[in-house]
Amino acid sequence: MSAPSSTLAPWPYPRWIAHRGAGKLAPENTLAAFRLGAQYGYRMFECDAKLSSDGVPFLMHDATLERTTNGHGTGGERPWAQLTQLDAGGWHSRSYAGEPLPTLENLARYCIANGFFLNIEIKPTPGQEEVTGRVVGEYAARLWQGQAVPPLFSSFKPEALAGAMATAPHLPRALLIDALWDGCFDEAQALGCVAIVCNHALWDPALVAQVHGMGMRTLSYTVNDDWAAQRLIALGTDGIITDRVDFFSPATP
């Protein structure tokens, strides 16, 4: 088991992070999902943030509306006034029919009021990477101003993290990696990242030691099996993102 390097700064976030609010138990990226995740004891959540056509950061994973709403087309091409009219819960189950898309500001106020932690994945509409990072950074800097623990930004898109760094340099950033690529850790360091968030299968003792040795924390997505979670805990990784809020206790050290 690798011990965190002495070069690592204190880490204010809990190990367990609820994916998109409550995994698959509620419609993802809705306030209903975050409330349900909180009922299972989770205190940190992951969400996806993108921009409406008029620049409002809102929560949705896909570029298109069809999978998680009753809308059609590209979400980022719709003004917020249109997006507010969509049903973002009926696709999941009847009990959630009528659940609206939340803004990032909606979720921020909920998390701050309850003392919850948030990982904001900047999930830009293709072609809007840098501007999405900039606007999400501006909003988060304003919404969390004066709070003891800031949100953690993450993105697969370095341009989005660069945008967030430009407008909110004091807020922590993490690079998401699905497969290792040449120079990825150097890129993360150039972006001032405090963490790497990997596909959980990528972590092994040497990689954990390398990333810790570079002064960055080691997080994993999306971990839904006990054997995988136990392996990551034994490796000494720092954070686990899961859909299985009903299976993993966030009190597990």
Task: Quote the distance between the C-alpha of residue 3 and its chain's center.
Answer: 25
HSE toward the beta carbon, residue 172, CA cutoff 13 A:
20
| Annotation marks residue 212 as catalytic | no
Residue ranges with strand state E in the chain: 16-19, 44-51, 57-59, 117-122, 152-155, 173-177, 195-199, 217-221, 239-242
Tokens 């809020």 appear where?
245
170 is catalytic: no
CB atoms within 10 A of CB 116: 19
For Cα atoms 19, 27, 106, give the angle at the middle one, nearest 5 degrees: 80
Residue 208 CB: number of other CB atoms within 10 A?
22
In contact, 128 and 93? CB cutoff 8 Å: no
Per the CB < 8 A criterion, the answer to whether 118 and 152 are in contact is yes
Distance CA 100, CA 103 (A): 9
Set 19, 92, 200, 212: catalytic member:
19
Token pair of 83 as six digits: 């997006």
78 contact partners, CB below 8 Å, separation of at least 6: 52, 53, 65, 71
Show which residues are catalytic: 19, 61
